[in-house]
Amino acid sequence: MNGNGLTGMLAGEEMLILKPSASTQLRLVIWKIPARDEGMRTPVLTALTSQTPMDEITVCGWVRTRRDAKSFSFLEINDGSCLRGIQAVIDAGIPGSGGLAQMTTGASVEVTGRLVASQGAGQSWEVQATRVTLLGPADETYPLQKKGHTLEFLREIAHLRPRSNLFGAAFRVRSRMAYAVHNFFQERGFVNVHTPMITASDCEGAGEMFRVTTLPPGSADRPEEDFFGKPAYLTVSGQLQAETLACALGKVYTFGPTFRAENSNTSRHAAEFWMIEPEQAFCDLSGNMDLAEAQLKHQVRDALEHCAEDLAFFSKYVDKGLVERLKFVAERPFQRVSYTEAVQLLEQSGVTFEYPVQYGLNLQSGHERWLTEQHFQCPVIVFNYPKEIKPFYMRQNEDGLTVAAMDVLVPGIGEIIGGSQREERPERLAAAMAHHGLSEADYWWYADLRKYGTVPHAGYGMGFERLLMFVTGLGNIRDVIPFARTPGHAGF
């Protein structure tokens, strides 16, 4: 008990303090106090953002650099909690300093000491060590020596590249963006649903699925003898299942791994990527576009607010205009243009594109980028595509030619989101399935949604790695996912 209320220590790092509030009712406040006990470490981020000096902290991490003076050494230690490392001053003769020679770049160390104001430029705090321990040495073969490395080289050492500044930043931003996805949808009352990774249906109808089988290699292909009694695949989209949940829970989203066996070796395609797929009942294409725009802006604002240090790094070393562009995107309304208008703009552009522009053909990445980068110079939503180039589930428009599809295009990437209003009319859906050669027997459950209490509904898929490329300015999808799976590459 003290004068203000009741004070007691909880296990671990937390201190529980009960304070009478102005209304004399007891208010519960939980303070995080810095870890001081032996064996408990303080993250470098916590130390660097401390408001006060601390008598004793323990920092653990990997040595970035060591500089030796006559009677002391400087170790710069990074632990991944933030971009910056903390400087530790190791006086000759303190316990453990005998191991200093082995505390080279890449070695792991534990340093205990006082957190004091730093004399060095550009850093507020440093650790004046009282004890240092070498946890694990790293010899001169450690591949991440001080010199700069190419992204290509770093991909070859995917197990160590997270220790570099660039990849540490990329994966912290990835974590924050995943959190922001959940925040965005949870705050709006969307229910997070988990759709299966193994499926028997090809949602996109593009035939780009990985087969899942337990049939021994070389055996006759008899799907009826296979594990599921029929051909099964890794999912290309959770949409069809998400639709069933939206038609019960109203607003849902699924966010998980997605697999596509498309053999396109581009900087924007991965064989395994993560997709965010919201689906809303009682929603049309225009509501869907509004949601997509709001979500993309939310992600960008969240990154600007919570990943400022990492984004500043990307702005400096990867993409000079990044932060300015993100601010601009967060503010400005997206342009909306129909596919027909987009094709006219492309035809009138006077530009010779690698692939022809013609009504009825898919927009290629070069076309998409011209629209968003050159013409509109901001994110663009293209809607109402010809039905021939879109999957069976999209709602047919009254013109008989187009479907209520939408793609969101952003500068530097092209398509980041693809979605549509879904065909909710049973006869129209049956006709579209027949047109696409799909058997009603396989999709009976999907058709049932139209049979029992059908509702207008809409949704989209946002490629999570495309979002990360947009937010970090990194130009290759292989660099925003820890272990990229692309044609010919499944190492690590």
Binding site for Mg ion (CB under 5 A): 418
Residue number with CB closer to Mg ion (111 or 417)? 417
Residue 368 in the binding site for ligand 4AD (CB under 6 A): no
203 makes contact with ligand 4AD (CB under 6 A): yes
Judged by DSSP in three states, 417 sits in: strand
465 binds ligand 4AD (CB under 6 A): yes
Tokens of 474: 């990194």
Is residue 466 at the binding interface for ligand 4AD, with CB under 6 A as the rule? Answer: yes
Least gap, CB of 238 to ligand 4AD (angstroms): 7
Nearest residue to the partner Mg ion, using Cβ: 418
DSSP for 337-391, written as a single string = EEHHHHHHHHHHT----SS---TTSPPPHHHHHIIIIIISSS-EEEEEEEGGGS-
Q: Which does 463 bind (CB under 5 to 8 A by kind): Mg ion, ligand 4AD, none?
A: ligand 4AD
**CB-based burial label for 58 (10 Å; 0-12, 13-18, 19+):** buried
Q: Which is nearer to ligand 4AD, 114 or 182 (CB)?
A: 182
Q: Give the binding-site size for ligand 4AD (rule: CB under 6 A).
A: 23
Residue in 76, 126, 202, 277 binding ligand 4AD, rule: CB under 6 A? 277
Which of the ranges 82-90, 185-193, 374-382, 458-466 carries the binding residues for ligand 4AD, by CB under 6 A? 458-466
Residue 308 Cβ, how far from Mg ion at the closest point, in Å? Answer: 32
Helix (H, G, I), strand (E, B) or coil at 289: helix
| Cα 273 to Cα 448: distance, rounded to the nearest angstrom | 30
Binding of ligand 4AD by 379 (CB under 6 A): no
Amino acid identity at 32: K
Question: Judged by CB under 6 A, does residue 392 bind ligand 4AD?
Answer: no
Interface with ligand 4AD, residue 299, by CB under 6 A? no
Distance, in Å, from the CA atom of 149 to the CA atom of 442, rounded to the nearest integer, reads 51
Nearest Cα to 4, choosing from 16, 18, 14, 15?
18
Choosing from 104, 237, 315, 372, the residue that interacts with ligand 4AD (CB under 6 A) is 237
Q: Across 37-124, where does the E strand assignment appear?
A: 54-68, 72-78, 86-91, 108-117
Cα separation of 50 and 117, whole Å?
10
Residue 327: CB atoms within 10 Å = 13
Q: Is 412 in the site for ligand 4AD (CB under 6 A)?
A: no
Orientation angle between helical segments 322-331 and 308-317, nearest 10 degrees: 130
Cβ distance to ligand 4AD smaller for residue 78 or 402: 402
Binding part of the chain for ligand 4AD, among 171-179, 184-192, 268-276, 397-405 by CB under 6 A, reads 268-276
Q: How far is CA 272 from the centre of its chain?
A: 13
Distance in Å, CB of 18 to Mg ion, minimum: 55
* Binds 273: which of ligand 4AD, Mg ion, none (CB < 5-8 Å by kind): ligand 4AD
Closest separation between CB of residue 471 and ligand 4AD, Å?
Answer: 13
Nearer of residues 85 and 418 to Mg ion, judged by Cβ: 418
Sheet with 6-9: list strands edge to edge: 6-9, 14-20, 26-32
Q: Taking Cα atoms as reference points, which of 306, 265, 291, 70 lies closest to residue 178? A: 306
Q: Which residues bind ligand 4AD (CB under 6 A)?
A: 203-204, 237, 239, 260, 262, 269-270, 273, 275, 277, 415-419, 459-461, 463, 465-466, 477
